[in-house]
Amino acid sequence: MRVALAQNNYTVGDIRHNLNLIKSSIEQAQSAQADVVVFSELALSGYPPEDLLLRSDLFGLIEDALNELESLNSEVAVVVGHPRREAGKTYNSASFIHKGETLLCYDKQLLPNYSVFDEKRYFTPASDCPVISFKGVNISILICEDLWFKEPAQVAKLAGAELVLSPNASPYYYGKAPVRGDEMASRAKENNIPVIYVNQVGGQDELIFDGCSSAYNSCGESIFTAAEMAEDFACVDFDKATNRLTSLQPSSRQWDDEEEIWQALVLGVKDYVKKNGFPGALLGLSGGIDSAVTLAVAVDALGKDNVNAVMMPFKYTSTMSIEDAKEEAEALGVDFDVISIEPIYEAFMQQMAGQLAGTQLDTTEQNIQARCRGTILMGLSNKFGRLVLTTGNKSEVAVGYCTLYGDMAGGFDVLKDVSKTMVYKLAKYRNTVSEVIPERVITRPPSAELAPDQKDEDNLPPYDILDGILEAYVENDSSISDIVALGYDEATVRRVIRLVDINEHKRRQAPPGIRISSRAFGRDRRYPITSGFGRQFK
């Protein structure tokens, strides 16, 4: 039996677009003489459809699409994921369609409700594990979470399954691929049954789906892995007599470390901009490391002709920063403008002179500088339709080292889940591809340049210390005592945690950004704005 793996990039809610992708892959499967073609979880609706699942008209479109797939009367059997509603309940389902007839509709048994998942909000879990006999092979369909636990695969094996086909929508974070592979390999080995795993690929708001569809022999051996961060199509053959899979093509090369994260960011920007219909992107280019990396990601994602960079100097902006921003823009070939914010800032201050009389300079004046820049960028966005990319990194977003309606003003934050220390690593990686970030941007102390001779470390711990504390507190939910036990100064730990806690209101108003860690701000880490929890540990 030949099984085709169709790894596609779907758009949530665009049933017609998704159906066309599926039909195109069916044609590929026919050309490849496949017996079965497998698509990812909820392929027809895209994943995750969220509250679209509460709309009855969505299910009308899904039913029309399923009818159209049946009407193809295809010789190739189709395993396609879709939401299904019956008797007032909604299921996460996959249909097995062959020659104009749906031979089996499987409903997902285990519904994830942790991290970025909230499937129990929408779906009803099933308990049946049907097996279908097709061309002499007993096939079981298990959807995503069903294979992360032992029981569903065991039940399928006891029901006589000889091959598992698994539609998935498994979101990416750095380091997940080997964990996921180990789980799939374990299910195959535990039950002496080959597993074919098909994942979707692409960006969906904060989430990245990395693809990496794969096939595992009954001994747990990985025999094929599809492309990472890209669409792919491949076939494997199943020999029932030997209980083995054979790949018809070599595995795609998988990215390494910073290269993998870079490609995830590129995919996230590309899909967010294109799927939302923006003609391009623009950003404020400060001459600093964050905006330099953001610009390079944007150009890699969208092409130089679809990205604009704007330098908005003030009297505290160094000549070095202006020079470096210009060099970055020229290296990447993007349109580059310089718009001074001094007259705008002075106009603001003049208008507020009466109210501010007798007060001392503080962060208020610094934030007004940032808000002048935000206003310029949003004005250009309104006029030309391009999406404003903000440039704040995870370290800054965590502790509130950013300005509401200033550098936080925009539509998408490329580095929202990227720590400052990782930003430096990404800059060094990108320069191995081509030199686009000046060396002194990487080596000089970071500064917001909102005050004379300002440096980030005047207000924050060194980033290697800050990021270690943030990883423990934000990503691992470690307590103060646990973090101190790692070797960090207790006063510094308490200060950082307080900054994280009191800035939740800023993060709620921040633009979405790409998730690359196992715990990102946004739909992943959800903390109350109003909370007295931290006061108990003073």
212 is known as an active-site residue: no
N-to-C CA span, the chain:
65
DSSP H/E element including 337: strand 335-338
Query: Nearest 5 degrees, angle CA 341-CA 346-CA 348?
Result: 95
- Determine whether the annotation assigns residue 290 to a binding site: yes
CA 99 to chain CA mean position, Å: 37
**396 annotated ligand-binding residue:** yes
Residue 202 annotated in ligand binding: no
Is 506 marked within a binding site? yes
Contact 108, 90 (CB under 8 A): no
Q: Note whether 502 and 535 are within 8 A (CB).
A: no
The order of strands in the sheet holding 89-98 is 101-107, 89-98, 77-86, 36-38, 2-7, 232-239, 244-247
In Å, the largest CA–CA distance within the chain is 88
Centroid of chain to Cα 244: 34
Flag whether 288 is marked binding. yes
Q: Is 287 annotated as ligand-binding?
A: yes
108 is catalytic: yes
Q: Compute the distance between CA of residue 318 and CA of residue 450 in angstroms, rounded to an integer.
A: 11
**What's the residue count for the chain?**
538
φ, ψ for residue 46, nearest 5 deg: 80, 155
Q: Does 481 belong to an annotated binding site?
A: no
Q: List Cα–Cα distances, 157 to 1, 94, 153, in angstroms.
A: 19, 19, 6
Assign 3-class secondary structure to 359-378.
CCCCHHHHHHHHHHHHHHHH
Q: Tokens at residue 409, please?
A: 């003003």
Chain-centroid distance of CA 302 in Å reads 17
* CB 403 within 8 Å of CB 369: no
Exposure pattern of 443-457 as b/e (b: 16+ CB <10 Å)? ebebbbbbbeebebe
CB 403 within 8 A of CB 381: no
User: Which tokens sit at 278?
Assistant: 């923006």
- Determine whether the annotation assigns residue 285 to a binding site: yes
In sequence order, what are the residues at sequence separation of 6 or more whose Cβ sits closer than 8 angstroms to the Cβ of residue 433?
none
120 and 156 Cβ atoms separated by less than 8 Å? no
383 is catalytic: no
To the question of whether residue 170 is assigned a binding role by annotation, the answer is yes
Q: Which of 41, 206, 328, 471 is catalytic?
A: 41
3-state secondary structure 303-332: CHHHEEEEECCCCCCCHHHHHHHHHHHHHH
Whether residue 209 contacts residue 170, with contact meaning beta carbons closer than 8 Å, is answered with yes
108, 157, 275, 394: the catalytic one is 108
d(CA 51, CA 334): 38
Q: Is 286 annotated as a binding residue?
A: yes
From the candidates 144, 212, 235, 372, give the one annotated as an active-site residue.
Answer: 144
Of residues 288, 266, 289, 269, the one with CA closest to residue 280: 269
Active site amino acids? 41, 108, 144
Give the residue numbers of the binding site for ATP: 284-291, 391
Give the residue numbers of the binding site: 114, 170, 176, 284-291, 367, 391, 396, 506
